[in-house]
Amino acid sequence: MCGIVGYAGGRNAQPILLDCLKRLEYRGYDSAGIAVVGDPIQKGLQLFKSKGEIAVLESSMPEMTGTVGIAHTRWATQGRPTTENAHPLSDCTNRLAVVHNGIISNFMEVKEHLLATGHKFVSETDTEVFAHLVEAEMNGDLVAAVRKALEKVEGTYAFVVVSAGHDEIVAARRESPLVIGLGDGENFVASDVTALLKYTSRFLHVQDGEVVSLTRDEVRIFDSEGTAVERRPEKITWSLEDAEKGGYPHFMLKEIYEQPEAIHDSLLGRMESAEPEPFFQGNSFSSVKIVACGTSYHAGLVGKYIIEELAKVPTTVQISSEYRYSPVSRESPLVVLITQSGETADTLGAAREARKRGNKTVGIANVVGSAITREVDHVIYTRAGPEIGVAATKTFVTQVVALYLLAMELGVQNRSLTAQARRSMTSFLRSLPRYVQDVLNKASEIEAIAEKYARSDDMFFIGRSINYPIALEGALKTKEISYIHGEGFPAGELKHGPLALLSKDSPVVAIAVRDHTYEKMLGNISEVSARGSPVIAIGFEGDTDLPKFADDVLSIRQLPPIFTPVPVIVALQLWAYHLARIRGCPIDKPRNIAKTVTVE
């Protein structure tokens, strides 16, 4: 996610802004920038930005004088990670500067209107649109201009705006976090408390729909109707490291809990358009080949079921490091390369091989501007925000979301997806964050059951159909952070060998949602129980049969089979997390493995 800081006080703003901005580096970014309102004599706005790290900005920016300013680290979502696209962004008059965290979903239509009315743009970003909207409404009252501009944008945002000649900062929030730090004779705004803990421990959290005005001596909060809001400051005494984790004990847990927002952001502005993406308009594909590693490979396996069901296009999935040894296909499949980091050497090698074979390629990546984006013909970004924990969680879930979107594109293109089916898909996709939140609300139940099995040396995961890959992913999460030997199987395969491994000490996690595989799954659970192994089943709420077969049951809200992988994997992420926590493992940095594998 992007990082935002603002300062209004009696001291020179530039060094304070940089110092605060550096404390947001953990959020991940690809460019940075700063704007300082010149003192009354200059009346101008000093603005500077650069691609790369804050150190690059610090070493190349001019000295700025003024006591009010904003600064930003950009995690690119709309527009490449370039200097032009870095924030702050200004308007035509260069008297305004805006920084933003979020996604303006209707920015293209707003931009077209502004272009038609003579506005000139210098960046590819959605954020620049807002600078022009504020400028168009500006008549001396910055709060009023921002409120008017907000009426025209849709999507998610934390906007922070400054204007030449004004010693005021105006901020607005919808879904993207924003806090106000209260100092003595100075006030601050930031994306999270981490940036400001050095300067204050008194904070006001900005709520959705609110607009805030802050000067060195005053903070005013207005609700969506423009009515002033009184709010008591909170005292936060976190350590800096605690703050970077948002109060969570580990980045992995924070990222598990960020999944509803990550899913929401990944869908934003991507289901409304009636027109398919240009890339798909010109091409038709008789088959799809998905290529990836690790967790991304498991997302690809889920994608196979999704694409074949929605688009009726035969789909194969291959491990990246094996792809180059496979024979060149006579047909020319669409090759989809999934990599959250965008830097995995095996997958980059596969992308180059696919291109060499003359195939059209699509990359599904989480990092804008990462290497994969230069090796494929089209990119679908997962917009999960930076993922610090080595174990992939929110990037996996948003990869699956990207595969729903890809399948719908292919289904619309080859007319296998009816308009009614597309509407139903869109409606369920929009509700996915709530299904995930339901699972997160059951974390204590999951933790309590994990306590019973955390001392196991071996643990098996079984599922069928679209939840077979989820069994594999649950096993991978468990093995990589708890060091329990977790292994996943298609449930029907147990009798072909793995049953020999089962004992009373090897619990089996069985995904048994009430879909077309349910009866067979009950049979597999019985198979396992007959060998004395305890069974932890994951099923639908209200299923009164499952508890008769399993020793423990984790329940998710009922939903169509094609969507069950997302809430089920969230339950298994929490399962793995608590196993690892109980075993005292270094969860964010497991032994022997890295977040990005840049060697083959």
Which sequence positions are flagged as catalytic? Answer: 2, 595
Q: Considering only 14-22, 33-41, 334-342, 555-563, which stretch makes contact with ligand AGP by CB under 6 A?
A: 334-342
Q: Specify whether the CB–CB gap between 378 and 405 falls below 8 A.
A: no
Dihedral of CA 369/370/374/375: which sign? negative
Question: Which CB atom, from 261 or from 480, has the smaller least distance to ligand AGP?
Answer: 480
Asked if the bond preceding 15 is cis, omega within 30° of 0, the reply is no
Dihedral of CA 179/180/181/187: which sign? positive
302 binds ligand AGP (CB under 6 A): no
590 binds ligand AGP (CB under 6 A): no
Q: Considering only 387-395, 422-430, 531-539, 557-565, which stretch makes contact with ligand AGP by CB under 6 A?
A: 387-395
339 binds ligand AGP (CB under 6 A): yes
What is the strand order of the sheet 31-37 is part of?
45-51, 31-37, 68-74, 3-8, 187-190, 179-182, 202-205, 234-235
* Phi (first) and psi of residue 10, to 5 degrees: -105, -5
293 binds ligand AGP (CB under 6 A): yes
351 binds ligand AGP (CB under 6 A): no
398 binds ligand AGP (CB under 6 A): no
Q: Alpha-carbon distance 276 to 284, whole Å?
A: 12
Q: Which of 405, 429, 428 is nearest to 417 (CA)?
A: 405
Question: Which CB atom, from 29 or from 577, has the smaller least distance to ligand AGP?
Answer: 577
Tokens, residue 461:
């995961």
What is the identity of the amino acid at 251? F
Q: Rounded to the nearest whole angstrom, what is the least distance from the CB of residue 597 to ligand AGP in the complex? A: 5
373 binds ligand AGP (CB under 6 A): no
344 binds ligand AGP (CB under 6 A): yes
375 binds ligand AGP (CB under 6 A): no
Taking CB under 6 A as the criterion, the residue among 14, 101, 156, 295 binding ligand AGP is 295
Binding-site size for ligand AGP (CB under 6 A) equals: 15
Contacts of 166 (CB under 8 A, 6+ apart): 37, 68, 142
370 binds ligand AGP (CB under 6 A): no
* Phi (first) and psi of residue 89, to 5 degrees: -110, 150
Taking CB under 6 A as the criterion, the residue among 16, 99, 114, 392 binding ligand AGP is 392
Dihedral of CA 14/15/16/19: which sign? positive
391 binds ligand AGP (CB under 6 A): yes
Q: Rounded to the nearest whole angstrom, what is the least distance from the CB of residue 402 to ligand AGP in the complex? A: 12
Contacts of 261 (CB under 8 A, 6+ apart): 175, 433
294 binds ligand AGP (CB under 6 A): yes
361 binds ligand AGP (CB under 6 A): no
187 binds ligand AGP (CB under 6 A): no
Could you give the C-alpha distances from 170 to 158, 186, 252, 568, in angstroms and in order?
11, 15, 33, 42
Question: Which CB atom, from 162 or from 365, has the smaller least distance to ligand AGP?
Answer: 365
Taking CB under 6 A as the criterion, the residue among 480, 487, 527, 588 binding ligand AGP is 480
Q: Specify whether the CB–CB gap between 511 and 536 falls below 8 A.
A: no
Task: Tell me the residue nearest to ligand AGP as measured from the CB.
Answer: 294
Which residues contact ligand AGP (rule: CB under 6 A)? 293-296, 339-341, 344, 347, 390-392, 480, 596-597
